[in-house]
Structure 1
Amino acid sequence: MRTSFDVADFGAVPDGGGDAAPSVVAALQAAAAHAGPATLRFPPGEYHLWPDTAQRRELYVSNTVGDDPHVRDKTIAVLVEAADDLVISGAGARLVLHGLQTTFAVIDSRRVRIEGLEFDFAVPTVVDATVVDAGLTAGRAYRVISVPETTLFSVDGRSVRWHGEPLGSGTYAWDGYDALEYSQIHDPAGGWTRRAPNPLFDGVHKIVAAGRREIRIVYDHDEEPADVGLVYQMRLTTRDHPGGLVLDSTGVTLSGVRFRFLHGFGVVAQASRDISIEKCEFRAPPGTGRHSAGFADFVQFSGCSGRAVVRDCLFDGPHDDPVNVHGTYLRVAGQPAPRTVELEYAHRETAGMPQFSAGDEIEIVDRATLRPIALATVERVRQPSGRDHGGPLRTITLTVGSALPGQLAGRAAVENVTRTPTVHIVRNVFRNVPTRGVLVTTRRPVLIEENRFERTGMAAVYVSGDATDWWESGPVRDLTVRGNEFVEPGGPALFVDPRTTMSDPAHPVHRGVVVEGNRFVLEGVPALDAKATGGIRFRDNTLARLGSPTWDIVLRSCPDADISHAVYEPPLRVLRSALPR
């Protein structure tokens, strides 16, 4: 029998306006500690959660800040630890976070379901500035920009200081000036978002506040701006928190959760098994002047296993990729014994995490070609814990059960083959995305079906794999892209692009890619651009071509490709070429 808990019984008052964090912490701890199935309910209403009384944990999370000691402690608004069979239910409940926090974290838990909650920030860490007026006055160009009610700022001479809320220490949660460190442009009328230069603060003559939410910027030049209606989205770049976190857990489901804003690096499922995200909405509150719902990615699966499922969700307004599924290549730095390798994290934003357990299978690949060198089974490992900084955070020493080839240092990388998931990405909508829609690199079956990709800034579906840049592993072996709509992507609708410096057609990096029954609306980009991929099947798709004709399919060193020509008018334009060997 399931036991019910209610945050109100622990002192949380819906719409009370005070800090509900202590009550929420107490309720979560009681529900998680209960021996048996439990449900924790948030009654409808608004709850404010401040960082001063929230839970904190030292954690190392993929694609955030690596081992930077200044931000190793994460502040977590809703923390579930060591729970087994817990439901957190909150239809009609809105949780408003203050400062810089992770919305939720599920750690060391099994069978956890979070449903119905809405998460937002009192002061989002992205500034959405809409140009509401522009022109010339007294020989000088000007713009008037409007910002949402939740955006805090002050005019400081010829600059604007954007900032978060004042905290108990008297300092702001965050602050920065003018265009901050990163910008992108959103066109609400055209339904697109792109990474592009920000001209708002170039050649400024004078800045004045024009009401509570408007800022008038006068320039030294007389070139009249032509960007009324565009939204300049500005932020800093340090990913100090994951937006949400599922860590070392099994059987976790997010259902019907509304993420109005995620600070940091989105919802990260790391070293977890059987994770589902269903019927969730990643979108800023409509009608507020806010358009950015995320500081970076929306969802990432890193080093997971079992099933990774994303279905029936809306992804609208991230600052990076909505969905990314990958493992992590570790560079071989040394080989002190025939069965032992010293590994290191190579990317500055990823470190401190354990990657292996005894019994895991690993694959060693050549970094230049991503071609397998050897398979082995982990026998012993010395690695970071992911929870403390008591030892080295960037290095791992791995001993396997059989002798390895020599001279691996520098030229090879290692992937944990055991921690790779089966992936289903089904019936989602992707819109106002500046980058790719879905990134996926896993050797287990992947199904991307019945999704709608609207005007992504880059490729809609991107299959990479590299041991030189982001170090995101590994090869695709069974990928089906079926029944989707691709509407005017900014790059190839499907881009299969292993980051290799050499190619061998006899040994392609990826294989088993099937593209069937999709509808493509394309302007100046191909439906499929692939390299070093074997056995591609492209069939029964519909192409609508806008603008000047271009190649429909681009294949570079892709052996055994079967491209159907039967249903296309005019016939498909296919470019085939070979890469340097």
Structure 2
Amino acid sequence: MTALLDVTDFGAHPGQHHADATPAVRAALRAAAAEAGPVVLRFPPGDYHLWPDDAQRRELYVSNTVGDDPRHRVKTIALLVQDTDDLVIAGEGARLVLHGLQTAFAVIDSRHVRIEGLEFDAAVPTVVDATVVGAGPAHRVIRVPPATLFRIDGTSIRWHGETLRSGALAWSGRDALEYTQIHDPVRQRTWRGPNPLFERVRSIRSVGERDLRIDYEHDDEPADLGLVYSMRPTTRDHPGGVVLDSSGVTLLRLRFRFLHGFGVVAQTSRDVTLEGCQFQPPPGSGRHSAGFADFVQFCGCSGRAVVRDCSFDGPHDDAINVHGSYLRVTGQPDPRTIELEYPHAETAGFAQFSPADRIELVDRATLQPVGSATVSAVRQPSGRAHDRPLRTMVVTVDADLPGALAGRTAVENVTRTPSVLIAGNTFRNIPTRGVLVTTRRAVLIEGNRFERTGMAAIYVSGDADEWWESGPVHDLTIRGNEFIEPGGPAILLDPRNTRCDGEHPVHSGVVVTDNRFVLNGSPALDAKCTRGIHFRDNAVARRGAQGPDVILRTCSDLT
């Protein structure tokens, strides 16, 4: 029998702006975890304000965030589901407002969890969206959203978060912060670029509740009226949400209005689904950014990774990225033992292998396999503590490996690779790519609409030198999608190997069919070092600049 719980029975009262619902939500989740059978935990409609002071905290290491930086090893989590099975968290009409810097939700060591209907937002987003609403000789007027807090300090602006119970500000930064992307609401394009707002400033003053006039020490008249400069720091100290070491997790009809730090990360988990979710700032808020970085990542997952019928609007990096992690081989004490390390500064600290997992070693220059084996034992970080080395591990396998592996090779866990379905989604106002995918199991990208991505709409990479995101694609179908004026190739197959032999491709088995491409200078398909490309029954139209429809570099077996 299913147990029914309600957060209001634990002291959470929607609509009370100054009340912290965190203790009540913690108590409700604790009670749900204690139930023996299936549980439904309900959030009635209304706003719930969650402050970090009494929130749950966990030491966690998450891909593409801050690696093993000790300053950020502990994450503050607004909604924590841990060691819990058969739980539904239902919240149609409920809005969770996060204060300070927090991970919106975490599902850890749990099975059969569904979170549905909730809306997540930040009281003070860590991205500042400044719209140029006036411009003339030697000045601009910029408008910031009501949620943005700031203070004028001479010829500088200090942006900041709320004051916490400790008296400290949740965050702060000055002027252009550390990163800028630019959004054109008329052309519906977003791109990375320089920020001229705070160059050679003579004075800054308020000219309205949300308007700031910036005067300059030059006579030029800015030509950026109407553009939005989206500014933020660059430290990804929290994942926006995380599904960690769990299985059978579904995120259904969630509305992510802002995700701080990174996106929703499914890491070393199995069978994770996002369906009907919306990643988009609140309408009428004056905000154009819904995320601090990527929106969704699957890292080292297995089973099925499914993203269906979602909308992605306004991230600060890619919308969806599905990948594994290459580890650099640094030593070989004996023929059956290899020493490995995390080479990228933003990824470290979590376990990569279990006994019986199958691994593949690749030459870093060619990305070609040079050996494979089954793991028999491993010494590695746990992902939850720093009592072991966080960047290195030692793996013992069941068979002799080739010699001289150190430095020239990388290792991928090929057991932890998912099949992927990405279907019925919409991608817009994205400065980079819509979908990145590198997995050797079957991938179907179907019925999506990609609108004016800043770079390639679909990017298939794989590299053991820069981001170290593994591995090859062997079965990829891209079918029935619309690609509207991408800023790069609509589909880019670009493994980052430095030596490519046509007889030994990195990627293979790619079918591109029944798609509609509307292009302006970019190709529909740009492929390198791939065997078995079938490009057929696609409609290609061009606006403006002409160019080749298909570019092939060291490819074979083509239709």
Which category describes the TM-score, using the shorter chain as reference length?
Answer: over 0.9
| Matching of residue 435 in structure 1 with residue 450 in structure 2 | no
C-alpha distance in 1 between matches for 2:483 and 2:364: 33
1:228 aligned counterpart, secondary structure: coil
CA distance in 1, matches of 2:9, 2:547: 64
Question: Aligned partners of 1:57 and 1:526: how far apart in 2?
Answer: 46
Structure 1 match to 2:467: 470
Match of 1:568 in 2: none
1:326 Cα deviation from its structure 2 partner = 0.1
Q: Given residue 4 of structure 2, which amino acid in structure 1 is its aligned partner?
A: S
The residue aligned with 1:23 is 24
1:6 Cα deviation after fit: 0.4
Query: How many angstroms apart in 2 are the aligned matches of 1:267 and 1:47?
Result: 21
Residue number in structure 1 paired with 2:105 = 104
Return the offset for 1:163: 0.5
1:6 maps to amino acid: D
Give TM-score scaled by structure 2 length. Answer: 0.99
Output the CA distance in 1 between the equivalents of 2:278 and 2:171.
26
- Mapped to 2, the partners of 1:373 and 1:35 lie a distance apart of 49
Q: After TM superposition, what 4+ stretches of structure 1 lie above 3 angstroms from structure 2? A: none
1:179 maps onto 2:180 in alignment = no
What is aligned with 2:192? Answer: 195
* Secondary structure, aligned partner of 1:51: coil
2:556 alignment counterpart: 559
The alignment partner of 2:53 has SS state of helix
Deviations 1:512-566 (A, max 9, x none): 011000000000100000100001000000001112321111000001111xxxx
**If the length of structure 1 is used for normalisation, what is the TM-score?**
0.96
Instruction: Report the secondary structure of 2:556's partner residue.
Output: coil
Q: Render the CA deviation track for 1:379-427: whole Å, top value 9, x for unaligned.
A: 0000000000001000010000000000000000000000000000000
Distance 1:72 1:210 in 2: 42
The aligned counterpart of 1:88 is 89
Aligned to 2:233: 236
Aligned mate of 2:160, from 150, 158, 163: 163
Residue in 1 that maps onto 2:54: 53
Determine the structure 2 residue equivalent to 1:392.
389
Q: Which runs of 5+ in 2 are unaligned?
A: none
2:296 maps to 1:302: no
Whole-angstrom CA distance in 1 between matches of 2:530 and 2:200: 48
- Cα distance in 2 for residues equivalent to 1:504 and 1:13: 64
The one-letter code matched in structure 2 to 1:167 is: L
Shift of 1:445: 0.2
1:360 to 357, 373, 397: 357
Determine if the alignment matches structure 1 residue 72 to structure 2 residue 62. Answer: no
What letter matches 1:8 in structure 2? T
Structure 1, residues 155-201: CA drift from partner, whole Å, max 9, x if none?
11111100111112222111110000000000111111000111101
Q: Distance in 2 between matches of 1:157 and 1:549?
A: 49
Question: Partner letter of residue 153 of structure 1?
Answer: F
Name the SS of the counterpart of 1:332 in structure 2.
Answer: strand
* Aligned-partner Cα distance in 2 for 1:41–1:9: 10
Counterpart Cα distance in 1 of 2:421 and 2:364: 28
Asked if 1:132 corresponds to 2:133, the answer is yes
Which residue of structure 2 aligns with residue 7 of structure 1? 7
Deviation (angstroms), 1:501? 0.6
Match for 1:13: what amino acid?
Answer: H
1:123 aligned onto 2:120: no
Look up the SS of the partner of 2:557 in the other structure.
coil
Report the alpha carbon displacement of residue 288 of structure 1 after superposing the two structures with TM. Answer: 1.0
Look up the equivalent residue of 1:478 and give its one-letter code. D
CA deviation string 1:318-371 (max 9, x = no partner): 000010000000000000011000000000000001000000000000000000
1:211 deviates by 2.2
Q: State the Cα deviation string for residues 175-232 of structure 1 (Å, max 9, x = none).
A: 1100000000001111110001111011111111222211100011111111111100
* Aligned equivalents of 2:206, 2:160: Cα separation in 1: 15
- 1:492 maps to 2:493: no
Equivalent pairs, count: 558
Aligned-residue identity in percent: 71
- Give the Cα separation in 1 of the matches to 2:49 and 2:204: 34
> What's 1:528 paired with?
525
Gaps of at least 5 residues in structure 1 are: 563-581
SS in 2 for 1:560: strand
Relative to structure 2, which stretch is displaced further, 169-178 or 67-76? 169-178
* Local SS of the residue matching 1:186: strand
Shift of 1:113: 0.1
- Residues of 1 paired with 2:284 and 2:217: CA distance? 34
SS of alignment partner, residue 4 of structure 2: strand
Residue 466 of structure 1: how far off its partner (Å): 0.2
1:408 alignment partner in structure 2: 405
In structure 1, distance between residues paired with 2:546 and 2:127: 38
Q: Distance in 2 between matches of 1:379 and 1:314?
A: 43
1:147 to 139, 144, 148: 144
* 1:110-135 Cα shifts (integer Å, max 9, x gaps): 00000000000000000000000001
Whole-Å Cα distance in 2 between the matches of residues 468 and 16 of structure 1? 51
Q: Distance in 2 between matches of 1:215 and 1:547?
A: 37
Say which SS state the counterpart of residue 536 (structure 1) adopts. strand
**SS of 1:381 mapped into structure 2:** strand
Matched, 1:224 2:221: yes
Residue 4 of structure 1: how far off its partner (Å):
0.4
Distance 1:347 1:220 in 2: 42
Q: Take 1:113 and 1:452, find their aligned partners in 2: how far apart are those partners?
A: 27
Root mean square deviation of aligned Cα: 0.5
What is residue 573 of structure 1 aligned with on the other side?
Answer: none
Describe the superposition over 1:78-101 as per-residue Cα deviations: whole angstroms up to 9, x where unpaired. Answer: 000011100000000000000000
**Which secondary structure state, in structure 2, belongs to the residue aligned with residue 52 of structure 1?**
coil
Structure 1 CA distance, aligned partners of 2:544 and 2:280? Answer: 31
SS in 2 for 1:25: helix
User: Cα distance, 1:438 vs. partner?
Assistant: 0.2
- Separation in structure 1 between the aligned mates of residue 351 and residue 502 of structure 2, nearest angstrom: 35
> Counterpart of 2:164 in structure 1: which amino acid?
L
SS at match of 1:333: strand
Q: Secondary structure at the match of 2:242?
A: strand
Q: 1:506 aligns with which of 498, 503, 508?
A: 503
1:57-112 C-alpha deviation (Å, 9 max, x unpaired): 00000000000000000000000001110000000000000000000000000000
Match of 1:565 in 2: none
Query: For residues 221-263 of structure 1, what are the alpha-carbon distances to aligned partners after superposition, in whole Å with 9 as ceiling and x for unaligned?
Result: 1111111111000000000000000000000000000000000
In the alignment, structure 1 residue 213 sits paired with structure 2 residue 210: yes
CA distance, structure 2, for counterparts of residue 377 and residue 21 of structure 1: 45
Matches of 2:207 and 2:371, distance apart in 1? 65
Letter in 1 for 2:118: L
**Residue aligning to 1:378:** 375
2:492 alignment partner AA: F
User: Distance in 1 between the 2:14 and 2:156 partners?
Assistant: 39
> Which moves more between the two structures, 546-555 or 85-94?
546-555
